[in-house]
Homo-oligomer: A and B are copies of this chain.
Amino acid sequence: MPLGFRASAVAAGIKPDRLDLAIIAADAPCAAAGVFTGNQAVAAPVVVSREHVAAGRARAIVVNAGCANAATGTSGLRDAHEMAARAATALGCAASEVLVCSTGVIGLSLPMDKVRAGIDVAASRLARDGGSDVARAILTTDTHPKEVLVETAIGGRRVRVGGVAKGAGMIAPNMATLLAFFTTDAAVAPGVLRAALLAAVGETLNRITVDGDTSTNDTALILASGASGAPTIEGPGADHDAFCAALAAASRRLAEMIVRDGEGATRFAEVRVEGARTARDADVVARTVAESPLVKTAIHGGDPNWGRILAAVGRSGIAVGAGGVDIYLGDLHVAAGSAVVSYDEDAAHRQMVADPVRIRVVLHDGSATGWMWTCDFSHGYVDINAHYRS
């Protein structure tokens, strides 16, 4: 992981026999930023982390799986605060410098005895190579850990951006949650760091969907240690661009890993919308297509059923002008002006089993574009979600 950080994970017993509690700690106070769920029903740790990160500085992240600490009322808030305080004591910093995350079932209280003991052990085992354990400790219905490291050069120095994530969707994961934690040894002013995180998430993690169900706990955090020795990025310029590109690349890779590991997913698809009046219009259309159960089951079946794409565009709420809608599967043109064109059905089928599946919707109403990444809808999704708690 990037210089200036250590991490560890332990099996605290919140879940049976697996890593379920982790700490990422900086050697010294860091610039920090976060983006959080848009769901009104926010979990207690989101309330606490939002408050702590507002200062633009932090020292550590403490996270547990197995229990989302959501819909837990005032006692949940007390537990989230205590997680931060316990980690702070063990790490020798202020509670307000610790960011807290939880993921798992909603409506259960944290088993605080196990959490306290887990935090103490985790804090005592911090190591430079602990990042992979963190990636494993935060998983819920994910089938494999998601970890990324991107390098770039800033001011002649090598700089790293590392990231771990969990979730079957930003918008959606099973019960609770996309979590993404980035660390970097770049030196970045807090305001710049926050803008860079917002931009990276907006172009990547906010463009993925598995089932459209935004969670109560979605959180992306970044800590910047500056330990690379590179000059501090205070504003626009080449260094800023290099850092933002590295962060966006890391976030992009995690986003794709999440969709590919989406609950029951067997295919990865990009839905791209062009020719919209505004970027927001393009995004709404792309999201409606990407979330349509009929489109997602067609992708599952490799069925070039573009009529479902057209129907999804039609119900998106975005007005389509007289030019109608053109639809492409990969580079194959299958509909023009909202009506069928002659095309080869076998070629269309091949596009629907390509990796990635590329669906392109062209409006004739402007020049704005947008896109979403999605996966197919399979038996596996039903299996995972019909019996999650039982």
Contacts and interface: CB of A to CB of B under 8 A. Distances in A.
A228 interface: no
Given A294-B211, A307-B68, A307-B107, A315 B386 contact: no
A153 interface: no
Contact of A40 (B319, B377, B381): B319
Q: How many copies does the complex hold?
A: 2
A149 interface: no
A356 interface: no
A323 interface: no
B294 A339 contact: no
Given A382-B300, A385-B293, A39 B314 contact: yes
B106 A71 contact: no
Interface in A141-198: 172, 174-176
Contact of A308 (B38, B42, B106, B319): B106
A106 B32 CA distance: 51
A311 interface: yes
A276 interface: no
A385 B301 contact: yes
Contacts of A386: 297-298, 300-301, 303, 378
Contacts of A212: 292-293
Contacts of A298: 385-386, 388
Contacts of A172: 294
Contacts of A319: 40
A359 to B, nearest CB: 15
Contact of A338 (B71, B292, B335): B71
**Best-surrounded residue of A172, A211, A297, A389 (most CB of chain B within 10 A):** A297
B385 A382 contact: no
Nearest to A383: B379
Contacts of A378: 382, 386
Contact of A340 (B72, B312, B390): B72
A303 B379 contact: no
Contact of A388 (B216, B305, B383, B388): B305
Interface string A264-306: 0000000000000000000000000000111001101111011
A212 B312 CA distance: 10
Contacts of A41: 310-311, 313-314, 320, 325, 338
Contacts of A66: none
Nearest to A216: B311
Contacts of A105: 307
A307 to B, nearest CB: 3
Given A40-B320, A315-B38, A339 B382 contact: no
Nearest to A40: B314
A278 to B, nearest CB: 17
8 contacts: A41-B310, A68-B307, A73-B337, A106-B311, A175-B311, A302-B390, A305-B389, A381-B382
Given A71-B338, A216-B310, 12 more contacts: A41-B311, A41-B325, A70-B307, A73-B340, A106-B311, A211-B293, A214-B311, A214-B315, A303-B387, A377-B382, A378-B382, A381-B382
